[in-house]
Amino acid sequence: MNDPRARRQLTMIAEVRGLGVEVWLRGGWAMDFWLGRITREHEDVDWFARSRDADRLTGPLVARGYEVLRADAQQLDLVRDGEEISFALVDRDADGRLVVAGGPWAGSPWPAGMLEEAEPGRLGGLECPVISPAAQIEIKRMTPVWIPGRPRRPKDAADVALLEAALAARGAL
C-alpha cells in the first residue's frame, strides 16, 4: 500500500487493538475490514467501545502521543499526527439493549445485533472486530434522520451500496 494516510490509520488501528480493550470498528474502516479491501480514503478511524473502558483507552493512547480532543460520557476523540480516532461509547440498558452511553441521546438504542452479530474483519494481516454490516447500513441510512441537520453524504450512500452488494453476493441479503 502506497497511501501514507492509510498506513498511518492502519497503524493506529493496530495500536488500539494492541491495548487489550474490547472495541469494534465502525464507519468506513469497518466496511473495509469486513470487505477485506480498502475502498476509499478515510477521514478518521471510528470505533465503538464500552463506556466503562474509556479510561483504559485514554491513558495508554495519551502515553503513545495522542492528544485528547473530547472526553465525555458519550464520546472519546483523540488525535495524533493529524489523524483522528473516535470512540462512540456504549452501555447496556436495564433490558440488556445496547444504548448510547451519555450526552443528549443517552439511553437511545443502537441497532439490534450491532455487536452481537459482529464478526472479525481482516485487512492484510490485521484482524479487527467490526460492527455487523446490517447495523452499519442502518446507521449510515438513519444518521440524517436521528440527527436533524446532518446531511446525507455521498460516501455513505456508496458505502451502503457496497455493503448491500457484498451481502447479496454472500446470500445474506
Per domain, the residue ranges of the chain are 4-132
pLDDT for residue 142: 84
Question: Would you tell me which CATH number, out of the four given (3.40.640.10, 3.30.450.90, 3.40.228.10, 3.30.460.40), belongs to the domain 4-132?
Answer: 3.30.460.40
Taken in order 54, 119, 44, 162, the sign of the CA dihedral is negative
Q: Is 70 exposed, middle or buried (0-12, 13-18, 19+ CB in 10 A)?
A: exposed
pLDDT tens by residue, the chain, 173 residues = 679 999 999 999 999 999 999 999 999 999 999 999 999 999 999 999 999 999 999 999 999 999 999 999 999 999 999 999 999 999 999 999 999 999 999 999 999 999 988 889 999 899 999 999 999 999 888 887 777 787 888 888 888 889 889 889 988 76
What is the value of pTM for the model shown? Answer: 0.92
